Amino acid sequence: MRATRSGQRTCRPRPPAICSTAIDWGIGGAAAILLCTAALLAGILLLGGCNRGGESSPDRAQADAPAAAAAAADSAQATAAGAQGGSTAADSAGVSDEHLAAAETEQEDRGFFARLFHRGEEEEQEEEAVPVELAEVVVADLPNYLLSTATLEPEKQAEILAKVPGEIERIQTEEGERVPAGAVLAILDGAVPRVALEEAEARLDALRLDLERVAALHEQNLASDKDLQDARSAFAQGEAQRKAAALEVEYTRITAPFTGQIAERRVDPGQTVAVGTALFSIVDAEPLLARIHLPEREAVRITPGQPVVITPDTAPDRALRGEVLRVAPIVDARTGTVKVTCSVRETADLLRPGSFVRVKVETDVQEDVVCIPKRALVPEGEDNYVFKAAADSVVKTSIVTGHHNHTLVEVLEGLSPGEQVVTVGHGALKHGSKIRPITPEPLGDVAKADSGAAEAAAR
């Protein structure tokens, strides 16, 4: 607009290039608005397909989304074409360029929507199942235990020492061998003791002859009573010396004091030993003893003959039977505990003197209670939950528990026999999660192993 001399305003025509550029901007803006609208519509359809009852599959969403995209793209193309038709008179040379740009824009938009719908399809893929272990809820006896630890000791053990000096002539046993009482373990060189024995026997023969001579003279009243008594005393001393010499010879044969197992051999053939030298160590490992110390308030519930379950650290899945052998009559003033000695005869080649074991002393049994493995519990504050299997998913269920031991827990409310609960893998679960059971754990076997060992021990 400009003012003339007469005061009227006239319109100055814009250059054709400027008008063409404005038209292009208007076309691009309209196309962009339509594309944004199409993207929003596609997102709404995608979400609506996920939430629509009975039609929540990814296929339905994928089928609706491209149609909306195509409709929006066609609308954008039609609008662009109409706008371009109106501007043909302004700039006919720019029409072909605008068509080319519109085609490229449409191709890019279609690629964008393809990527968008592909990503939505991936997000709508079915949730992956979590591998878990399951255990069945059963009715079983629930024994209660007092738990402690101990180091096994043999009932009998001894150090075999040399009783006479000499050289080791022969070794007749090795470590680990089981030997009966009186078995010869080693032999010493007995030359000197045998010579002493022969000398004692010769002296005894001489004293015997002297006693016979004095006795004959005494019968003829040619020897006094004192002479006869002296002869008898000398003979007795000679006989004792012979026995001592024979015993020295016997001591050259090293024998086992009782039936047991050679724990250690400490000498070698050819070695010279003195009196008191340790030669062997022998133990009797049947039965093995476990000495545990329990608080005074708990020890009053323990009596001799009570069944116990011994579990070695080397085989934590094994339960060996035993019994309480004796209970100390006094309380240790320093610790306030009472020593309880338990014996185990069923070693099953798993237990040895010095083995570290865990001891469970059965105190009472809760009969016919609903049980689950203790590791199935999911504690949250003061409440306990379990993940109960329901078809191919889980339901987070609140339960009320009762008595328990180290492996089992009583369920008072919340579960019924025959249902299955997750025992391994619940850390990755939530209510409604998909599961894939692997190696289900038969809880009946666990309960039998826990209570059956005590029953076997009682028998």
- Res. 3: pLDDT tops 50: no
SS3 percent helix, strand, coil of the chain, rounded to 5, is: 40, 35, 25
* C-alpha pair distances (Å), 206 with each of 15, 213, 315: 161, 11, 69
Q: How many Å apart are CA 159 and CA 64, to the nearest integer?
A: 91
Coil vs helix vs strand at 423: strand
H or E, element range at 279: strand 278-295
Q: How many Å apart are CA 106 and CA 72, to the nearest integer?
A: 10
Residues 342-376: tens digit of each pLDDT: 998 877 677 888 889 999 888 878 888 899 999 99
CATH value of 132-138+367-458 in 2.40.420.20, 2.40.70.10, 2.60.40.650, 3.40.50.720: 2.40.420.20
What architecture does CATH give domain 281-364?
Beta Barrel (2.40)
- pLDDT score, position 28: 55
* C-alpha pair distances (Å), 71 with each of 110, 114, 115, 218, 417: 11, 14, 17, 152, 59
Per-residue buried b or exposed e for 274-293, using 16+ beta carbons within 10 Å of the residue's own CB: eeebebbbbbbbbbbbbbbb
- pLDDT score, position 386: 92
> Considering the entire predicted model, what is its pTM?
0.51
Coil vs helix vs strand at 137: coil
Residues 204-257: tens digit of each pLDDT: 999 999 999 999 998 988 888 899 999 999 999 999 999 999 999 999 999 999
- Window from 186-200, 375-389, 439-453 with minimum mean pLDDT: 439-453
Q: Which residues contact 405 (CB under 8 A, 6 or more apart)?
A: 142, 143, 144, 145, 374, 450
∠ Cα 219 225 228 (to 5°) = 75
Residues 120-129: tens digit of each pLDDT: 444 445 668 8
Quick one: what percent of the chain has pLDDT higher than 70?
Answer: 68
- pLDDT score, position 4: 44
Task: Look at domain 190-251 and name its CATH class.
Answer: mainly alpha
Contact between 344 and 355 (Cβ < 8 Å): no
Contact between 345 and 322 (Cβ < 8 Å): yes
